[in-house]
Amino acid sequence: MDLPLWATGLIGFLIINAMLVSASVLVYAERKVSGYIQNRPGPNRVGPFGFLQPFADVVKLIMKEDIAPRAASPFIHSLAPVLMVIIAMTVPAVIPFARGFVIADLDVSVLVVLALTSVSVYGVTLAGWSSNSKYSLLGGLRSSAQMISYELSMGLAVVSVVLIAGSLSLVDIVEDQASGWAILGWNVIRNPVGAMLFIITAFAETNRAPFDLPEAEQELVGGYHTEYSGMKFGMFFLAEYVNFFIASFIIVTLFFGGYLIPFEPLFAHVFYDNGLGWLLGVLQFFALLAKTAFFAFLFIWVRWTLPRFKYNQLMTIGWKYLLPIGIVNALVIALGVAVFEALGL
């Protein structure tokens, strides 16, 4: 789809705003779900069913005084939250939202996702360092170690997907999953180990429980964002929610058929024959949203159920379990792909 530049810009603007709103919706969802998990009603005072609570929170955060430690490095201290938000907001550019609807259809969009994930650690690390506080520093250190460790396994999980699809483009990867019957083409069925690996590492990369060691409220009093207040803290907060929303998008795109509606290969031709391709596109968009919402719920569910890992457990899992599993999985998938190609399937 070759859109003029202004149209792409407009869509990008809309999507950024949609992401901001979705972050508030997720905050609301998290508080409501955690409330139900903990046998309490959750927010129910601001607006109908407390739906305006996150907006009230944002207003509060904007009103609050911005406090920075005197010994902090002022520029980097301000840069870190901005960096987090920018990186989180960049990823949607390469996510295909429906057939033929993607802002930037790059040949290497999978790598863009990986690159942005790996760069996002700077926000956390720099926040930890520039605050000039010991707790923050420990949080920053934990975060960089954790990100580096889990990036490898995440990369290997992605490699297995790329091997199956034979392309580095997210659009191709999604379309490749449309090949099987009904939902059998989805990568979660062709490559279940890779899917598990990717979901686990996605938790680690987004710093969500049980991998939330960098912020561990009870040990490091908030970790890297201990010394942040007001909207700077709000930006970390925003980035966290956008991040796990994006992570859900990527999980769905890579392993759960992306924008494909379940059983789509069975009836997609009906739409195209009747010239209703646009309707299919809309349905695909909602299918993607529904699947993503499920994984966002999974992120919330896990957070309010499991205790946090310990640092050495985290390293053990990353290096001694996930990495070997990832390597073996990539090898098996590669062999499988080679065998299938040799057999001409």
Please report, as ranges, the residues that interact with another protein according to CB under 8 A: 34, 37-40, 73, 76, 106-108, 111-112, 114-115, 117-119, 121-122, 125-126, 128-129, 134-135, 137-138, 140-142, 144-145, 147-148, 151, 168, 209-210, 212-213, 216-221, 304-313
Phi, psi (rounded to 5 degrees) for 274 = -95, 10
Least distance to another protein from the beta carbon of 104, Å?
11
Least distance to another protein from the beta carbon of 305, Å?
7
Q: Which of 132/285 has CB closer to another protein?
A: 132
The string of DSSP letters for 79-133 reads: HHHHHHHHHHHHGGGG---BTTB-S---TTHHHHHHHHHHHTHHHHHHHHHHTT-
Q: Which of 112/283 has CB closer to another protein?
A: 112
Least distance to another protein from the beta carbon of 224, Å?
11
Structure tokens at 61: 């955060």
Q: Which of 75/181 has CB closer to another protein?
A: 75
Cβ proximity of 76 and 123 under 8 Å: no
Least distance to another protein from the beta carbon of 179, Å?
20
* Backbone angle region of 96, left / alpha / beta, with phi > 0 → left and psi within -120 to 50 → alpha: beta
Cα separation, 50 vs 39, in Å, equals 17
Residue type, 248: S
Q: Which of 148/282 has CB closer to another protein?
A: 148
Q: How far is CA 233 from the centre of its chain?
A: 20
Least distance to another protein from the beta carbon of 307, Å?
4
Q: HSE on the CB side for 177, CA within 13 Å?
A: 28
Least distance to another protein from the beta carbon of 46, Å?
21
